[in-house]
Amino acid sequence: MSLKELREKPTDALTSELKDKQKHLFDLRSQAVTEKLEDPSQLGKTRREIAQLKTLVHERELAVKKNAVAAAAK
């Protein structure tokens, strides 16, 4: 999924997708240990997707806090 598509999703959808990706990464690591992993590049791709999702969620949290501070200052 592209970054543009991820930015259009609501925050709760991003957090649920983040949890799914983390579970998927756990499964991939388990497969890597038992040597049943077919495509080792999946580990890196999944880690990158998790990092993108975490960044988007964090950006939104900061925006909410910034808006709250601005509203309180008025």
Q: Residue 57 to residues 2, 8, 11, 17, 51: CA-CA distances in angstroms?
A: 15, 12, 7, 11, 10
- Domains of the chain (ranges; CATH) run 3-73 (1.10.287.310)
pLDDT value, residue 51: 97
The reported pTM is 0.88
What is the pLDDT at residue 49? 96
What is the tens place of the pLDDT at every residue in 16-53? 999 999 999 999 999 999 988 889 999 999 999 999 99
